[in-house]
Amino acid sequence: MTHWFAEGDTPDGPRKISLSGTDLAHQNETQEQGPVVRVGDGPPDTLPAPVLPRDMHVIADFAQTKPMDRVSAWVRLWLLGLMDRQPGWDGVVCATYGDVTHWIEVSAKEAVSCRSSVTLRLCRLMQGAGVLDEDAVAASISRPERLVSDLYTAGLVGDGGAVTGHLVGAELATMRPYWLGRDIVLVTDQPGLYMSALSGQGVPAKAYSPEELLHGGLAVVARARGFHN
């Protein structure tokens, strides 16, 4: 069974994962030699593009020209893990990576389109809370043009839940084509915010942690490269 590595940059710095075939290896094995699959190197694949890379020596980012967007190759590995877990699945993945949220349309094993937001970054900068005010969500979905005024009011009274609710609600107003009537999967370590906001709109969603899907995506890479033999 081949010992190999997946490595690349992340928002928290460089990451290197040691594997034996399709299995994660123990930390004391990380000094062994073996093939390296670079994550995020090289030119990105322009959407629409197959989720499974054509060249499995490098896992490239996704890029989109209109509107301009870019999705990390680590998120692409999450999509691979989801497709391995749910073969034939079509729908929209809402994935948080660092402080960016990506909405990615997946169909026929392709990433078709994407839209991304910095809602979580703004929540942090504006002292939003870890829970959201449902009324604020509804207000910003129906009247997103009032966002800057509503945020000022929420900040004035120190209502962190309203700050978060207005920001998430404005994001949902923007992303309506991605969630209305769609099958939604959340990939995030903290699914509560988006799960709650979507539930308020009558939209069910299933949640996975990034790490569990990452392991599945790396197993797909191992099988494609023949590392599992």
pLDDT for the residue 228: 73
Q: Can you tell me the mean pLDDT for 157-186? A: 97
Is residue 21 within 8 Å of 2, Cβ to Cβ?
yes
Is the pLDDT reported for residue 201 higher than 70?
yes
- Rounded-to-10 torsion of CA 102, 106, 112, 118: -10
Token pair for 53? 């890379």
Is the pLDDT reported for residue 28 higher than 70?
no
Q: Is 141 left (phi over 0), alpha (psi -120 to 50) or beta?
A: alpha
Is the pLDDT reported for residue 29 higher than 50?
no
| Tens-place pLDDT, residues 105-138 | 999 999 999 999 999 999 999 999 999 999 999 9
Is the pLDDT reported for residue 32 higher than 70?
no
pLDDT for the residue 229: 61
Is the pLDDT reported for residue 166 higher than 70?
yes
E strand or H helix at 25: none
Q: Can you tell me the mean pLDDT for 201-215? A: 96
pLDDT for the residue 59: 97
Q: Can you tell me the mean pLDDT for 144-166? A: 97
The pLDDT > 70 percentage for the chain reads 97
∠ CA 227-188-22 to the nearest 5 degrees?
A: 10
Q: What is the largest CA-CA distance in the chain?
A: 61
pLDDT for the residue 106: 98
Q: Is the dihedral of CA 86, 15, 168, 191 positive or negative?
A: positive
Residue spans of alpha helices (H) in the chain: 73-85, 119-125, 134-142, 147-156, 160-174, 176-179, 192-200, 210-225
Is residue 130 within 8 Å of 105, Cβ to Cβ?
no
Is the pLDDT reported for residue 151 higher than 60?
yes
Per-residue b or e along 178-217, where b marks 16 or more CB atoms closer than 10 Å to that residue's CB? bbeebbbbbbbeebebbbebbebeebebebbebeebbbbb
| Tens-place pLDDT, residues 49-66 | 999 998 889 999 999 999
Is the pLDDT reported for residue 176 higher than 80?
yes
pLDDT bin (cut points 50, 70, 90) of residue 14 is very high
Is the pLDDT reported for residue 175 higher than 80?
yes
DSSP, collapsed to helix, strand or coil, labels residue 219 as helix
**Beta carbons within 8 Å of 143's beta carbon, 6+ residues apart:** none
pLDDT for the residue 160: 98
pLDDT bin (cut points 50, 70, 90) of residue 31 is low
pLDDT for the residue 25: 81
pLDDT bin (cut points 50, 70, 90) of residue 89 is very high
